Structure 1
């Protein structure tokens, strides 16, 4: 027999013996250094070839027994208020002990490239102030789990990764938005913060959805279940199967999400699919209707889009995708959208200012999830229009101290029934904004910053920007 073949067979035999006599097998996110959600029933699960498994938590010395069914087991640990480090011991006849376990607040960070973008930046695309942030990143109370990027044809049980305390080396490779969110929360709440990052650039929302949640869309092709990696990260269900399904049941406080650019060709479908995805995740997670805070995509026209005919054709649809995200906030309970009309970068889809994004997500979480009602988080929100002669009067919620950043605004347009828009003059009044243009004597509709690229300039006294918006419901361009 060939020597290489012999040693290959021997190695396989030894591996099989090790598997047969292995300790309890846990998903990667149950490991040393993990963070469990405080004051909760935090589930832990895994596999064993024994009949029962006992899990003991050091914070209360309680033991929980689980029966093993078809090789799987699961227990729920009653967690205390934030603290640690603790240990969790798992025993099926052979003990393993998870060390340096913290109890605190756990969030999942998901989406596409603007969530994935690490503090070190992408090639030729830096993150603002990254060097300073990375240099000062050492904090044992912030734990980060960077999930492997996997797209799979069936739901998986594990997403590979490792818990690490924040350090310059770790945060340089971690989501700039998610780390900024964690840093802000930890500084304000004074408790351990755990972030699980599962994000992948350039991905459709369909890839993050389960097969069941996509069933109302017969035009979406669900991949054949052959238990294999998919060739394309944008195959429907692939990222849900590979990166979200393994986490289902892990006790979390909530999710932060930054995605949408890849669906800019289909804003109407996005408005249906995105809320359906959130509802499905919540149902499957089975830990309650957790907060879901997301980022509205920033305005941009990249250099490549200026040169690409196909991309140029998509540009008129970009503001409609932002509009779909704006409308989704009303459709998704316990949600919130961070508006970033003022931090886009004209020539890149990856604006370098990630700290402002983190700050706005944090403000939302502090106010809506942690009871800091004195922390503002909302910008002006268009409510209604009234036509008076040749002017349109706009009203807003969260409109105290309305102002234009540069003293006036060139982002307003007005149209009559012919649907032809002209640049308009906008004046702030005691009740809102008056909009008019000499070319339109009988106005019907107003639009604000409703373009692929616009630098938002309408703010309230708390310094939060308004989303782009329109007052008409005219057909989205094909």
Structure 2
């Protein structure tokens, strides 16, 4: 009997210990769940878009009251849903250099410090957007040191999204805002940073730049799955592959690097991508439209400014996967998108490439052209050349083709010696270099060739690697174009 009582006593004590253990785990679990959490981009040193109701969201325990109090006087209160999610907005003031704080109180408290209010832009794409100010392997950024030397600007803030592929849409990224300094800018997108510097000089308010880019990626990687389901031949994956090319899988980068930002309030988007789609360019225009629509839908803004860069000249014929002139179909599609979709714009780069380097050094030119687009369109600055002249129409007269262009800001073509790029063809579809004559004070171009007696079509820049030498009054090059729809 004593033995039995002893066993029962031991068992009772053991069960009590187990219950206490489980109860402790339960309390720890509840405690962890009860902590107020924010995505990483709501953090110290961040920049919020000025004069807007900026989005704020996070997690806490279900049915918790979340109170947001800002140092500039705006407040918000919201209750978490049954899953612990909450979302609200906070009114921001006019941009200033005053360091602000934001208190977020729920089950626990968070204090965000050194917050600035100004202008926020989001930049994305593949390697030419990702290419940091310090360069990329053997590729260098022209005038990089000039920008590194002036990089100690606490009023410019940088958020660099790490490369992340995900099968399902993610809600956070692992990064933080950094003040601009000599070390932080070296590792940040050269185009993104120089764009920020140009805006800062003109607007005189804090600038925040969010970068989310990954080299070697196709546009399909940056588009939500639901927008790609209508296309045939796209293979979707239910798990992350182990191979290095997981970043090229459809929707994976949208899920991991774009969706987390949801509708974090930004002024606009900068995009530089297209090289990886060059071998299959026919659907690029449709993909580009889908991407713009999807991102505008995510940011809940049908007119979200979207400015992109035409892929720069490079001799893809040196690459086994490259083709001689197909990349020009990507450039053609990019120009057409800018012409057809509201609140978009394209930077033409026929003078800013390098036939021997797919990562050209002239990032400063590209960034300044992007900034001029933004300053003219979003901030109403006048007298800024921000749009290249565009082919408008042509007519055939005898053995000549007469080209007309659409000009902006009193632009015009300037006759220069040995202008490259223009070619004409007859019904045989064989193109020959054209003789060029400028008329009507640079508003008209006359093309002819002794080898083409009855010309029917014109192409400009449709070469393996075309580097423009055609001068314009604005200094902006014109895009490659063609009047035919023949298979290149």
Give the TM-score taking structure 2 as reference length: 0.90
How far did residue 227 of structure 1 move? 8.1
- Match of 2:437? 427
> Which residue of 165, 189, 197 corresponds with 1:175?
189
CA RMSD of aligned residues (A): 2.1
27 and 19 in structure 1: CA distance in 2 versus 1, 3 angstrom threshold: farther
Select which of 316, 320, 324 maps to 1:315.
324
Alignment deviations for residues 80-129 of structure 1 (CA, whole Å, 9 cap, x no partner):
11023111100014211001111111110000000000000011111111
Aligned twin of 2:77 = 64
Decide whether the 8 Å contact of 2:161 with 2:212 is kept in 1.
Answer: yes
- SS at structure 2 position matched to 1:309: coil
The aligned runs of 1:374-389 (5 Å cut-off) are 374-389=383-398
CA distance in structure 1 between the aligned counterparts of 2:320 and 2:243, rounded to whole angstroms = 29
Quote how far apart the aligned CAs of 1:350 are: 0.6
What does 1:273-284 correspond to in 2, within 5 Å? Answer: 273-284=287-298
Residue among 88, 99, 103 paired with 2:117: 103
Residue 47 of structure 1: which of 56, 59, 78 is its match? Answer: 59
1:326 to 326, 329, 335: 335
CA distance in 1 between partners of 2:39 and 2:367 (Å): 29
Tell me the residue number matched to 2:22.
none
User: Match of 1:3?
Assistant: none
Matching residue of 2:428: 418
Unpaired runs of at least 5, structure 1: 1-12
- Counterpart of 1:268 (choices 275, 279, 282) is 282
Per-residue CA deviation, residues 173-211 of structure 1 (Å, 9 max, x unaligned), is: 000000010000011000111110000001000000001
Q: Which runs of 5+ in 2 are unaligned?
A: 1-24
Distance, in Å, in 2 between the alignment partners of 1:162 and 1:340 is 32
Decide whether aligned partners of structure 1 residues 95 and 445 sit closer, same or farther in structure 2, where only a CA change above 3 A counts. Answer: same
Give the whole-Å Cα distance in 1 for the aligned partners of 2:241 and 2:312.
35
C-alpha contact 1:426 1:436 (8 A) present in aligned 2: yes
In the other structure, the counterpart of 2:210 is: 196
Q: Give 1:463's aligned residue.
A: 475
- Kept in 1, the 8 Å contact 2:60–2:80? The answer is no
Partner of 1:34: 46
Q: Distance in 1 between matches of 2:389 and 2:433?
A: 21
Is the CA contact 1:151–1:229 (under 8 Å) kept in the aligned structure 2?
Answer: no
Q: 1:390·1:441 contact (CA, 8 Å) conserved in 2?
A: yes
Deviations 1:341-375 (A, max 9, x none): 00110101111010000010011001111111321
Distance (Å, rounded) in 2 between the aligned partners of 1:287 and 1:60: 26
Q: CA deviation at 1:215?
A: 1.7
How far 1:457 moved relative to its partner? 2.1
Structure 1 residues 17 and 93: alpha-carbon distance in aligned structure 2, compared to 1, 3 A threshold: closer
Cα separation, 2, equivalents of 1:81 and 1:408: 52
**For the residues of structure 2 that align with 1:381 and 1:390, how far apart are their CA atoms?**
23
Q: Using the alignment, how far apart are the partners of 1:21 and 1:389 within structure 2?
A: 80
Matches of 2:331 and 2:277, distance apart in 1: 11
**Rg (Cα) greater in structure:** 2
Matched, 1:218 2:232: yes
Please state whether the residue corresponding to 2:404 is helix, strand or coil: strand
